[in-house]
Amino acid sequence: MKTMKNHMKVEFDSYSGNESFARITVAAFLCCLNPTVEELEDIKTAVSEAVTNSIIHGYGNQVGTVTMECEIDGDEVIVAVSDEGVGIVDIGKAMEPLYTTRPDLERSGMGFAFMEAFMDTLEVTSAPMEGCLVRMKKKIGVPLHERYNCLD
Amino acid sequence: MKTMKNHMKVEFDSYSGNESFARITVAAFLCCLNPTVEELEDIKTAVSEAVTNSIIHGYGNQVGTVTMECEIDGDEVIVAVSDEGVGIVDIGKAMEPLYTTRPDLERSGMGFAFMEAFMDTLEVTSAPMEGCLVRMKKKIGVPLHERYNCLD
Amino acid sequence: MDDFQVINSYLCIRMPKELDHHKAIRIREMADRYIEGQHIEFVVFDFEDTSFMDSSGIGVIMGRYKKIQILGGRVLAVHVSDRIRRIFRLSGLHKIVEIVEDEE
Amino acid sequence: MDDFQVINSYLCIRMPKELDHHKAIRIREMADRYIEGQHIEFVVFDFEDTSFMDSSGIGVIMGRYKKIQILGGRVLAVHVSDRIRRIFRLSGLHKIVEIVEDEE
Ligand SMILES: Nc1ncnc2c1ncn2[C@@H]1O[C@H](COP(=O)(O)OP(=O)(O)O)[C@@H](O)[C@H]1O
Ligand SMILES: Nc1ncnc2c1ncn2[C@@H]1O[C@H](COP(=O)(O)OP(=O)(O)O)[C@@H](O)[C@H]1O
């Protein structure tokens, strides 16, 4: 059996209307893995959180570029979302559930908590004025040989 | 009224299964322009031709990176598809309808003809061993003020 | 907009198919216009059409709760799918929103 | 595969929802297995489910035409939408494929 590997990277402007674009794009990329509805919704939710954070927190009222990279490696999906925005001063604090710096925008402070809940692993790299990179992984449960293989 | 501008760029591996990924991605990006079904099918067809060419002709049996860039500028859509593959020796000849270098793969030689038929403009830039860049434009007919605006 | 309906002191909000930050902004704006303009005691979020919701949805519900609670009002949710129920639980929203179960 | 059916000397091929190069490869392979293995006089492409087709579809139809024509056979198409009809015309395919019109 050949190993399944596939990779894509998409950059887009930080308009809130592009949040749904990011979700559709990641779902379209993963569809050849035949994920369950549940698995796909989990990944779409995590991507939505990370992309929304880059748009709201990273760039605020500026328009910048959000990058989403997605890799399929066998039964593992790796998604990375990054921006070149203001960055995070205290990552530990930022990741606490209910912590938000934008209560005025009715942010719930649950973004990182959702990413952790819906993915297997979450890694946040950031520094003030150096943007933010969120890397998440999730194993897809359906055995390889039952999948429709899109890679040839 | 604010000017509508939006931009995205996606890179992906040259697997034939990613042809449908490219179509879904461009369609998702354009959906906030409220194109007609006809307009969307035209653009998806042109994108499918260009991406398939990069996969089959540009990279052949190698796996390389295909890049698709899409820009919305008011009522105009600009799509660019490029690869870093073998390139084209004689662009004029390549663009003739029914001309194909891969009859063994049952290519019909109608790819460029379809891009021309379904888009308003088509520009091909290529040189041997320097890859290929296809730039296409199309005006979307629905007046701006009738559109659901996704950009804010 | 047809997605907002006032029946007596109930404001019923039909939530969109995909409830994200982009959509949440609009719902917040519209809802507050109703809450501030009329005598509203109950805000009912209807999730019948909703197949996607992220934490932005939590924010918009929590925000309406805070507003209406001051006036002694309450927040309800109907047609809540298993997934949205899970998200409510994850965020503690199930403690402040009354989920009205679907009839059989 | 259920998408290929042989009835007498007819090979009926149910075309996929999205007929692109990726899908064309599989159709070519499967179709030729039938054409070479059995006595086929007519190849019928059924576009009932097909909402997308690019020039790869032209190639796969043209290829079967060439194969079957040598044996004195013919190529038919059913459930052809306006868009696919336009693509047939654009590529000259309407000259070699008989489009069977839908009954009212
Ligand atoms: N991409 C980012 N750039 C800058 N700051 C961020 C970014 N992502 C998250 N943060 C910071 O971390 C905090 C917590 O994020 P999160 O848990 O997603 O909740 P919320 O988005 O609801 O505020 C944010 O309020 C913000 O201060
Ligand atoms: N991206 C590309 N890289 C290299 N050669 C290309 C590329 N795109 C097209 N060509 C050349 O141009 C020819 C005509 O292309 P096209 O009109 O799309 O027809 P077809 O794909 O059916 O061959 C191809 O057969 C190929 O030789």
Complex ipTM value: 0.91
Quick one: average pLDDT of D10-24? 97
Q: The tokens 């030689």 sit on which residue?
A: B109
Task: Please enumerate in sequence order all residues whose Cβ is within 8 A of that of C8, keeping only pairs 6 or more positions apart, or say none.
Answer: none
C-alpha B57 – ligand 2 centre gap (Å): 6
Q: Output D46 or B32, whichever has higher pLDDT.
A: D46
What's residue C28's pLDDT? 96
- In this structure, what is the dihedral angle of CA atoms D16, D20, D22, D24, given to the nearest 10 degrees? 70
Quick one: average pLDDT of C1-21? 92
Helices (H), B31-96: 37-53, 91-94
Residues near ligand 2 (Cβ within 6 A):
B 49, 53-54, 57-58, 83, 85-88, 94, 99-102, 107-112, 132; D 55
Q: Is there a domain that residue B101 lies in?
A: yes
Instruction: Tell whether domain C4-100 is in CATH 3.30.750.24.
Output: yes
A61 is catalytic: no
Strands (DSSP E) contained in chain B are 5-13, 65-73, 76-83, 121-126, 132-139
Distance of alpha carbon A40 from alpha carbon B62, whole angstroms = 30
Phi, psi of B28 (to 5 degrees): -65, -40
What's residue A146's pLDDT? 52
**Structural domain total, chain A:** 1
Q: Is there a domain that residue A50 lies in?
A: yes
C-alpha B7 – ligand 2 centre gap (Å): 27
Q: Is there a domain that residue B152 lies in?
A: no
User: Where on the phi/psi map is residue A115: left (φ > 0), alpha (ψ -120 to 50), or beta?
Assistant: alpha
pLDDT digits (tens, 9 = 90+) for D21-42: 999 999 999 999 999 988 899 9
Quick one: average pLDDT of C28-50? 94
CA distance A144 to chain C (A): 26
Distance of alpha carbon D80 from alpha carbon D86, whole angstroms = 10
CATH number at residue B101: 3.30.565.10
Which residues are bridge partners to B76 per DSSP? B73, B139
Distance of alpha carbon D36 from alpha carbon D20, whole angstroms = 24
A66 alpha carbon, distance to own chain's centre: 11
Q: State the average pLDDT for chain B.
A: 92
pLDDT tier, B4 (very low <50, low <70, confident <90, very high otherwise): confident
Cα angle D15-D18-D22, degrees, rounded to a multiple of 5: 90
Distance of alpha carbon A124 from alpha carbon B52, whole angstroms = 36
CA distance readout (Å), A79 to A15, A129, A135, B104, B135: 20, 23, 6, 38, 29
Q: Which residues of C touch A19 (CB under 8 A)?
A: 20-22
What's residue B142's pLDDT? 57
Residues near ligand 1 (Cβ within 6 A):
A 49, 53-54, 57-58, 83, 85-88, 94, 99-102, 107-112, 132; C 55
User: Where on the phi/psi map is residue C95: left (φ > 0), alpha (ψ -120 to 50), or beta?
Assistant: alpha
**Closest by CA position to A54, among listed A30, A88, A85:** A85
Residue-number span of the structural domain to which B87 is assigned = 5-147
In this prediction the pTM is 0.92
pLDDT digits (tens, 9 = 90+) for A18-71: 999 999 999 999 988 889 999 999 999 999 999 999 999 999 989 999 999 999
In eight-state DSSP terms, residue D32 is: H
C-alpha B137 – ligand 2 centre gap (Å): 19
Strands (DSSP E) contained in chain A are 5-13, 65-73, 76-83, 121-126, 132-139
Q: Within a 10 A sphere around the Cβ of C49, how many other Cβ atoms?
A: 13
pLDDT tier, B18 (very low <50, low <70, confident <90, very high otherwise): very high
What's residue D38's pLDDT? 87
Q: State the average pLDDT for chain C.
A: 94
pLDDT digits (tens, 9 = 90+) for B84-130: 999 999 999 999 999 999 999 999 999 999 999 999 999 999 999 99
Bridge pairing between strands A121-126 and A132-139: antiparallel
Task: Please count the CA atoms within 13 angstroms of the CA of B40 that sit on its side-chain side.
Answer: 17
pLDDT digits (tens, 9 = 90+) for A64-95: 999 999 999 999 999 999 999 999 999 999 99
Q: Is there a domain that residue B90 lies in?
A: yes
* Cβ–Cβ under 8 Å, residues C77 and C19: no
pLDDT digits (tens, 9 = 90+) for C52-84: 999 999 999 999 999 999 989 999 999 999 999
Q: What sign does the dihedral B125-B126-B127-B129 (CA atoms) show? A: positive
**Closest by CA position to C42, among listed C103, C98, C102:** C98
Q: Is there a domain that residue A152 lies in?
A: no
CA distance readout (Å), A107 to A82, C28, C73, D87, D91: 19, 12, 22, 49, 54
What's residue A2's pLDDT? 47
Cβ within 8 Å, pair D58-B110: yes
